[in-house]
Amino acid sequence: MEKRRFVVIGDLPVGQFNHICDVPGVLVGHYSVHSNTHHTGVTAILPHEGNIFRDKVKAGSHIFNGFGKSIGMMQIEELGTIETPILLTNTLNVGKVSDSLITYMLQDNKEIGVTTGTINPLVLECNDGRLNHIQERILSDEAVFAAINTAKKDTQQGSIGAGSGMICHGLKGGIGSSSREIIFDSQKYHVGVLVNTNFGASNSKSLLFKGRAIGEDIYNRNKTKNEDDKGSIIVVIATDIPLESRQLNRISKRAALGIARTGSFAGNGSGDIIVAFSTANRSQHFSNSCIEKYEMLRDDSLEKVFKAVVFATEEAILNSMLHSPSTTGYLTTAKSINEYQMLYQDLLMNEGDSSNEKI
């Protein structure tokens, strides 16, 4: 499938697919519901293709603004590992999706809670209640199992999976992704970001597109009422760079700068949650050794990673909107940013640009 890159952010090269799946081993799957009253779903990010409970990845996190109901963040902060697929969904379905994820993990890990410890399901959320009849909580085992079981080197973005009912800066938001490549000691590494965008003022006034304040023009055209910056954004950062949990905490913080570059100031009602993991460093659940050994990047080389996270986060947010069509849902209609393309047309890549990606 051929799809061009929409916009160039920063000066670092992107990966083959300009997607979180450029990180070797990372897979993404979606389950979507679209109807007159429901636009919702589940997005699953698998850190690798093996048994994640037995072969955990090193992880870090950052809560930039904690107006959220996610499950599993506490154990990331304490132990610095992830042991399940990372699931994204809507706010009121967090409990059901978490329960379904536990059911899924018990299939191949019969020892959980019996001969070994319990499990820490990681479920992250945004509120899609404007486009989705969220009180009906329609997502269950089927949605979770389908999202995980269909995970692949996925390039689908926009109104899909957990992004189906999201609104960003008053326009249709959803799932977006981007990646960057970095060379350390003559070896190529990857940083991939996936976002679920549901933040920003509903009047679009603060929206920035590659530094241009197009939100002012959108506001002047629509004359919608002024509304505070609220909503949520979930940012998941994946990398094959050998980083330990302290360093993953540090790169998580930099995603907030990428969010800010699109015009957000993280209002009181915004849940801005960031999770990062490294596929290079693993922690075996069952081990005969008391000592765990792993490599780590020198801290004085982290600046390239910081830069990659900021650029990829900003581009992923713009991609989430550029891939999303106008959507009418339960309580409102969210217009696509593409209806205002005249405001940023000159900032887009040309169709024939040599940097266009085949994905």
Residue 162 contacts residue 175 (beta carbons within 8 Å): yes
Asked if residues 229 and 206 have their Cβ atoms less than 8 Å apart, the reply is yes
- pLDDT score recorded for residue 353: 59
Helix, strand, coil shares, percent, the chain, to 5: 30, 30, 45
pLDDT given at position 239: 98
Q: SS3 of 15, please?
A: coil
Which listed residue (100, 179, 232, 264) is catalytic?
232
Distances in whole angstroms, Cα of residue 304 to Cα of each of 93, 194, 242: 37, 19, 14
The residue annotated as part of the active site, out of 61, 70, 270, 324, is 270
Q: Within the chain, which residues score under 70 in pLDDT?
A: 1-4, 226, 351-359
User: What is the distance, to the nearest Å, from the Cα of residue 239 to the centroid of all Cα atoms in its chain?
Assistant: 13
d(CA 307, CA 303): 6
Backbone angles phi, psi at 40, to 5 degrees: -160, 180
DSSP state letters, 262-306: TT----TEEEEEEEEEEEEEEEESS-S-S--------GGGHHHHH
Extract the tokens encoding 185: 């000691």
SS3 state at 71: strand
Catalytic, 270? Answer yes
Can 99 be counted among the known catalytic residues? Answer: no
- Selection from 182, 231, 180, 224 nearest residue 205 by Cα: 224
State the DSSP H helix or E strand holding residue 219, giving kind and residue range, or none if neither. helix 214-222
List the domains of the chain with CATH numbers.
20-285+293-341 (3.60.70.12)
Amino acid at 142: E
The enclosing H or E element of 187 equals: strand 187-198
Q: In sequence order, which residues have a C-beta less than 8 Å from that of residue 70 and are 6 or more positions away?
A: 94, 122, 123, 124, 125, 234, 271, 273
| Single-letter residue type at 306 | F
Predicted pLDDT at 226? 67
pLDDT of residue 222: 86
**CB environment 149-170: b (16+ within 10 A), e (fewer):** eebebbbbbbbbbbbbbbbbbb
Which two tokens mark 182? 């970095």
Closest by alpha carbon to 266, among 199, 169, 173, 174? Answer: 199
Can you give the pTM of this predicted structure? 0.96
Active site residue 320: no
Write out pLDDT tens, residues 209-250. 999 999 999 999 987 776 777 789 999 999 999 999 999 999
Q: What is the mean pLDDT of the chain?
A: 94
Contacts of 22 (CB under 8 A, 6+ apart): 14, 15, 16, 179, 181, 190, 192
- Report the b/e string of 209-237 with b at 16+ CB within 10 A: bbeeebbebbbeeeeeeeeebbbbbbbbb
Q: Give the per-residue pLDDT at 266.
A: 87
The active-site residue out of 272, 278, 283, 320 is 272
pLDDT for 194-207, tens place per residue?
999 999 988 999 99
Contact indicator for 321, 197 with CB cutoff of 8 Å: yes
Q: What are phi and psi of 88, to 5 degrees?
A: -115, 140
